[in-house]
């Protein structure tokens, strides 16, 4: 008798044992994360050079795998969960989120349709209604209205979905069938995230039809310039379709004036998408909800709990005011997916709200995060980051060696050394090479600027003070 193929599987007992070891490993890693240099020091190909050229012919032990994680993988990581990680924007996480992610892996359900796992869809719809409450978003985004929310992998995908819906709306549903004819135009600010340009290329609108609107001295879009650009395009026979406003730009956290932009979009009948990927989380706190002023004029909105709301990557919350418009743009129903629940019209099939067909059970981790911390706990953590950023900005303002580039609207502080680009860059590199903190840069008004993004789950006052100390020593 040949051996049963079952023998090659990991046994349930071994899974329990290794699973506990992995949970311990993660807790040890996170509790001792400050022992590692924040930025990985390895050179290109260092990791691959240690890996066997060919896959193993015979299965290996789990201990061997975990040993290689320690010896090969760990040194090749930049530690995003380090409390001294101030680069890019955070991708913070938390224990309840990690457990939600693990459960999702354990369940292994594929939630493309309501019928493929009703709880996967219904929990997601429910949690996104909670998010409307948590951030005090417009009621139009509730699933009980004409709109609703969905979890996307990233803000980039959310923006692409919004642009595709806008494209279909603007052309009366013609573009999916016939393609674009080169007349559609889309608008965003010069400071917007690169994902808008990428969406315009993927959606077939093309870079030539993407208008980058000028910004004011605080790097926020100038609404009048938007109006002028839209009108000029109409005069030239173009078909303006879509505007993306940003709440919290990536370079400087600038907040576009959503209300003024929204009023123009209403007058001109344009789809308004609001990208608040990083900064939307601030609206947990009533005193910061002014960032969303005018959001009721938006057709769609997204923010990333996977940046600053303690939820593992990937988790972007995407809301639309008219779900029918989104579904019209993204729905295709092949025979093999037909089912009575879908045909009843009483259920949501989230496959029609996103680019891929398949989807993970992401709502679990967000549900766990919200339930573990409660609105109060989340607000407390976010307020701490915001206060730390304010104090840090005050320090920069008073420093003789550094200039504050703009008054930080939220928790991103942009600064440069008074001696200019080269000096600023050398300081950033010295800090990153030290392994004691990690920073990234941008360019504002063509000048090299250090960004200090304060939003890590474990980032506390001593970490920001240590960074200040390093900046002082290098000044």
Ligand X SMILES: *Cc1c(COP(=O)(O)O)cnc(C)c1O
> Which residues are near ligand X by CB under 6 A?
89, 154-156, 193, 195, 246, 248-250, 275, 277-278, 304, 316
CB closer to ligand X out of 78 and 117: 78
Long-range contacts of 201-204 (CB under 8 A, 24+ apart): 202/160, 203/160, 203/163, 203/164, 203/167, 204/175, 204/179, 204/180
Q: How far is the CB of 246 from ligand X (least distance, A)?
A: 5
* Cis peptide upstream of residue 314 (ω within 30 degrees of 0): yes
Question: CB of residue 278 vs ligand X: minimum separation in angstroms?
Answer: 4
Contact yes or no for 390/408 (Cβ under 8 A): yes
Q: DSSP code of 42?
A: P
Q: Taking each helix axis from N to C terminus, what angle separates 461-474 and 421-434, rounded to the nearest 10 degrees?
A: 130
210-213 sheet: strands from edge to edge: 148-152, 316-320, 300-303, 271-275, 239-246, 184-189, 210-213
With respect to ligand X, which residue has the nearer C-beta, 84 or 156?
156
Q: How far is the CB of 452 from ligand X (least distance, A)?
A: 15
How many C-beta atoms surround the C-beta of residue 410 within 10 A? Answer: 24
The distance of closest approach from Cβ of residue 199 to ligand X in the complex, given in angstroms and rounded to an integer, is 10
Q: Which is nearer to ligand X, 389 or 427 (CB)?
A: 389
Nearer to ligand X, 189 or 424 (CB): 189
Which CB sits closer to ligand X, 113 or 199? Answer: 199
Which CB sits closer to ligand X, 143 or 250?
Answer: 250
The sign one gets for the Cα dihedral 444, 278, 289, 375 is: negative
Q: Which is nearer to ligand X, 301 or 395 (CB)?
A: 301
Concatenating the DSSP letter of every residue in 272-309 gives EEEE-TTGGGGGGSGGGGGGGTTGGG-SEEEE-HHHHS
* C-beta closer to ligand X: residue 302 or 471: 302
**Do strands 412-417 and 271-275 pair parallel, antiparallel, or not at all (unpaired)?**
unpaired
Per the CB < 8 A criterion, the answer to whether 119 and 113 are in contact is no
- In the complex, least distance from residue 395 CB atom to ligand X, rounded to whole angstroms: 24
What number of residues does the chain have?
Answer: 475
Measured between alpha carbons, how far is 270 from 233 in angstroms, rounded to an integer? 13
d(CA 210, CA 188): 8
Both tokens of residue 10?
């990991």
Q: What is the DSSP letter of 193?
A: -
Shortest distance, CB of residue 317 to ligand X, whole angstroms?
11
Question: What is the nearest approach in angstroms of ligand X to the Cβ of residue 40?
Answer: 20
Residue closer to ligand X, measured from CB, 152 or 342: 152
Residue 316: helix, strand or coil by DSSP?
Answer: strand
> Minimum distance from CB of 64 to ligand X (Å)?
33
Could you tell me the two tokens for 34?
Answer: 């400050």
> Token digits for 424?
């600023």
Name the minimum Å distance from CB 377 to ligand X.
24
Contacts (Cβ under 8 Å, ≥6 apart) of 36: 74, 77, 79, 82, 435
As measured in angstroms, the least distance from the Cβ of 445 to ligand X is: 19
In the complex with ligand X, the residue whose CB is nearer, 156 or 312, is 156
């Amino acid at each position: 008798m040949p051996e049963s193929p079952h023998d090659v599987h990991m046994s349930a007992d071994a899974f329990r044992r290794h699973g506990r070891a992995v949970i311990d490993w993660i807790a040890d890693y996170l509790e001792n994360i400050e022992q590692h240099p924040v930025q990985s020091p390895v050179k290109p190909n260092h990791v691959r050079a240690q890996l066997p050229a060919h896959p193993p012919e015979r299965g290996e032990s789990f201990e061997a795998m975990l040993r290689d994680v320690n010896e090969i993988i760990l040194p090749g990581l930049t530690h995003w969960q380090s409390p001294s990680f101030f680069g890019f924007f955070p991708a913070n996480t938390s224990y309840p989120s990690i457990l939600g992610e693990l459960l999702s892996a354990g369940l292994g359900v594929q939630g493309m349709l309501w019928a493929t796992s009703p709880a996967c869809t219904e929990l997601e719809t429910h949690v996104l209604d909670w998010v409307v409450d948590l951030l005090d978003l417009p009621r139009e985004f509730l699933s009980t209205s004409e709109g609703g929310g969905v979890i996307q992998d990233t803000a980039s995908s959310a923006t692409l979905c919004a642009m595709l819906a806008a494209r279909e709306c603007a052309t009366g549903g013609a573009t999916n069938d016939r393609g674009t004819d080169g007349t559609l135009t889309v608008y965003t600010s010069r400071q917007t995230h690169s994902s808008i340009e990428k969406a315009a290329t993927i959606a077939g609108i093309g870079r030539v039809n993407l208008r980058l609107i000028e910004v004011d001295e605080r790097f926020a879009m100038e609404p009048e310039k938007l109006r002028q650009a839209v009108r000029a395009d109409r005069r030239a026979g173009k078909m303006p379709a879509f505007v993306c406003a940003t709440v919290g730009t990536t370079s400087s956290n600038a907040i576009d004036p959503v209300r003024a932009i929204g009023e123009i979009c209403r007058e001109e009948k344009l789809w308004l998408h609001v990208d608040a990927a990083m900064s939307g989380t601030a609206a947990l706190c009533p005193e910061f909800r002014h960032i969303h002023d005018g959001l009721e004029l938006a057709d769609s909105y997204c923010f990333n709990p996977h940046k600053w709301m303690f939820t593992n990557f990937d988790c972007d919350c995407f809301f639309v005011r008219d779900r029918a418009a989104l579904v019209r743009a993204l729905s295709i129903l092949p025979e093999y997916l037909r089912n009575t629940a879908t045909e009843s019209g009483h259920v949501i099939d989230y496959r029609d709200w996103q680019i891929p067909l398949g989807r993970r059970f992401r709502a679990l981790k967000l549900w766990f995060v919200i339930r573990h911390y409660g609105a109060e706990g989340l607000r407390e953590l976010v307020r701490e980051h915001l206060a730390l950023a304010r104090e840090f900005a005050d320090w920069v303002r008073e420093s003789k060696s550094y200039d504050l580039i703009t008054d930080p609207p939220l928790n991103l502080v942009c600064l440069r050394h008074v001696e200019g680009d080269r000096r600023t860059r050398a300081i950033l590199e010295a800090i990153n090479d030290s392994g004691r903190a990690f920073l990234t840069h941008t360019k504002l008004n063509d000048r090299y600027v250090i960004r200090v993004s304060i939003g890590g789950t474990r980032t506390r006052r001593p970490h920001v003070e240590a960074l200040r100390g390093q900046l002082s020593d290098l000044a």
